[in-house]
Structure 1
Amino acid sequence: MNTVKILVLPLLVTLLLSSVCLSVTVSSSKPRVEVHEHTDAVLACEFKTEKDQNPRIEWKKKGKGVTFVYFNHKFTGSYAGRAKIEGATLTIHSVTQKDSGEYRCEVTASEDHVTLGEATVNLDVLVPPHVPACEVPSSVFVGSGLELLCKDKLSVPPATYRWYKDNKALTASADTPYHVDTNKGTLEFKSVSKTDAGMYRCESSNSVGAPKSCVAQQLKVIEYPLNMTILIAGGAGFLVLILLCCVCVCVCRRRGCCKKDKKTKSTKSYNPPPPPPPPPARNLKHYKQTQSFMV
């Protein structure tokens, strides 16, 4: 019995101390909020304090860094003039996609045993589909590959796509000559035929608003003209001829057929240089003997 009392007594003391040392508590009844663009977003924040009846309330938004939304009893930045606070609950009017993100409600009770409490609320601003940007070429040759592009960068959640030809929805299957990617918005043909010509348009849609479509564009499928075919065939033949010449030259060099004979004399005749001119003769006077002298 004494042992039981010894074990129970510390537990009672702990409970009494914990009840005395209550701290500020902060929570949110709706930690994730989804609202349509240009409507009001209510970010709920509830708190309880131990003693402090006038705690300090702050709201911050987490992005690349942490920025203040509500600080020192006033709103900052783009929130000034379009937000209000009741208790600790924050309301943002006419939200846009830029307002999406993670918000943190912080309550500081300086008189409580634990002075700081916080709660996080994630805001997602939903954007209905916008008119997608469609890329459809005006013409394409028979037998060539083709990819039509469609993209709506503004809708949230991301849009899915559907392609139409002559106002009829295209549904890909194993038998169809094309492939449709509903998430990327591409319509791909591996080899275009004459029957693929027509008016093409793309439609984007999501769960927020009505689908939006781009203006239909005409796709013409044309055959290669005869002169173009001849030109392509001639160019291909010319390339084959050049390739064969290169192969022949390489084979000839490997076999030594193209090496020059070093012993072959030059066909040009060799003319030796002319001899140097003789030195100029001295200007000597010739004397004629007229008499002989005898001793």
Structure 2
Amino acid sequence: MSLRIEWKKIQSQEVSFVYYNGEFTGDLRDRAEMLNTGIRIRNVTRKDSGTYRCEISAKSEEGQRLGEASITLTVLVPPTTPICVVPNSAMTGTVVELSCKEAEGSPPSEYQWYKNGVALLEKTGTGSARTANITYTMNKKSGTLIFNTVSKNDTGEYFCVASNGIGLPQKCSMKRMQVDDLNVSGIIAAVVIVALVMALCGLGVLYAQKKGYFTKESSSQKSNSQSTSEKVHLVACVHFQHAFCYLVCR
């Protein structure tokens, strides 16, 4: 009986050869070996996760026989330290989003937010009596914490913890978010100051026009222009006959 054995990897609907024509392919060439019961992969990484399919074909006097089997491999990886994005300051009544993410954990990590060391409750879609007064929405899958209308009570120290059941949970460094009311009086004062400056500039221009500063400058330029023209005429008088010079310099 003549046997032919092939291994293929199926990941994200893409099929690639792992073992073909009697040898391993790709990065498994130096990390895998064939056994009587299957294949052995050393130093597995998160990229080795996927579905592996073994295909066997046998030729005999009775004809060709085919068989196959699939095995799903999940490489477990503990989470790394997540990256948290927390705004330093915010205005009351605005929408504020905090994010937390890490990309190495397998299976994917879930996230829990803490404020001042206390775990925040996860608000459901319909809400409940326990979470009726919650003004935020926390998504443990994506790691986002959204305040639809942030208030001064939301001021505090925030951090996030990532966990997937493998290894120890990991948390980001604590960051403070300060929420303040909109300074209406400060904005009004700034607008008044800008208006006064613009008014003073306008009065300055009018005063300069009344004093004739712009007119004097124009007269001086006109006088210089006439003086230059007369010099040109006088030079012409020297080089030409007196009769013609009289008509030009008159």
Matches within 5 A, 1:175-190: 175-190=133-148
Q: What is the CA-CA distance between 1:71 and the residue it aligns to?
A: 2.2
Could you list the per-position Cα deviations for residues 225-263 of structure 1 after superposition, in whole angstroms to 9, with x for gaps in the alignment? 2444427999xxxxxxxxxxxxxxxxxxxxxxxxxxxxx
CA distance in 2, matches of 1:61, 1:117: 16
Shift in CA distance, 65/158, structure 1 to aligned 2, threshold 3 Å: closer
Name the SS for the 2:132 alignment partner. Answer: coil
CA distance in 2, matches of 1:105, 1:163: 44
Shift in CA distance, 79/233, structure 1 to aligned 2, threshold 3 Å: same
CA distance in 2, matches of 1:119, 1:157: 24
Q: What is the CA-CA distance between 1:129 and the residue it aligns to?
A: 1.6
What is the TM-score with the length of structure 2 in the denominator? 0.65
Of stretches 114-123 and 193-202 in structure 1, the one that deviates more from structure 2 is: 114-123
Shift in CA distance, 109/125, structure 1 to aligned 2, threshold 3 Å: same
Structure-2 residue corresponding to 1:87: 36
Structure-2 residue corresponding to 1:6: none
The yes-or-no answer on 1:217 pairing with 2:188 is no
Structure-1 residue corresponding to 2:231: none
Q: What count of residue pairs does the alignment treat as equivalent?
A: 182
Mark the runs of 5 or more structure 2 residues left unpaired by the alignment: 123-130, 193-250
Structure-1 residue corresponding to 2:19: 70
Indicate which of 83, 108, 131 corresponds to 1:158. Answer: 108
Q: What is the CA-CA distance between 1:183 and the residue it aligns to?
A: 1.9
- Whichever structure has more helix as a proportion of its residues is 2
Q: What is the CA-CA distance between 1:119 and the residue it aligns to?
A: 1.3
Matches within 5 A, 1:106-185: 106-111=55-60, 113-172=63-122, 173-185=131-143
Q: What is the CA-CA distance between 1:219 and the residue it aligns to?
A: 0.9
CA contact (8 A) 1:57 1:88 kept: no
1:62 maps to amino acid = I
Shift in CA distance, 87/231, structure 1 to aligned 2, threshold 3 Å: farther
Q: What is the CA-CA distance between 1:185 and the residue it aligns to?
A: 1.5
Q: What is the CA-CA distance between 1:163 and the residue it aligns to?
A: 0.6
CA distance in 2, matches of 1:110, 1:226: 87
CA distance in 1, matches of 2:45, 2:59: 36
Q: What is the CA-CA distance between 1:193 and the residue it aligns to?
A: 2.2
Mark the runs of 5 or more structure 1 residues left unpaired by the alignment: 1-51, 235-295
1:74 maps to amino acid = E
What is the TM-score with the length of structure 1 in the denominator? 0.56
1:216 maps to amino acid = M
Structure-2 residue corresponding to 1:58: 6
CA distance in 2, matches of 1:170, 1:233: 41
Structure-1 residue corresponding to 2:48: 99
Q: What is the CA-CA distance between 1:65 and the residue it aligns to?
A: 4.2
CA distance in 1, matches of 2:106, 2:121: 25
Structure-2 residue corresponding to 1:241: none
Name the SS for the 1:154 alignment partner. Answer: coil
Of stretches 96-105 and 221-230 in structure 1, the one that deviates more from structure 2 is: 221-230
- Give the structure with higher Rg (CA): 1
Structure-2 residue corresponding to 1:197: 155
CA distance in 1, matches of 2:50, 2:35: 21
Name the SS for the 2:56 alignment partner. Answer: strand
Q: What is the CA-CA distance between 1:108 and the residue it aligns to?
A: 2.3
Q: What is the CA-CA distance between 1:136 and the residue it aligns to?
A: 0.4
CA distance in 2, matches of 1:154, 1:91: 23
Name the SS for the 2:74 alignment partner. Answer: strand
Shift in CA distance, 67/190, structure 1 to aligned 2, threshold 3 Å: closer
Structure-1 residue corresponding to 2:246: none
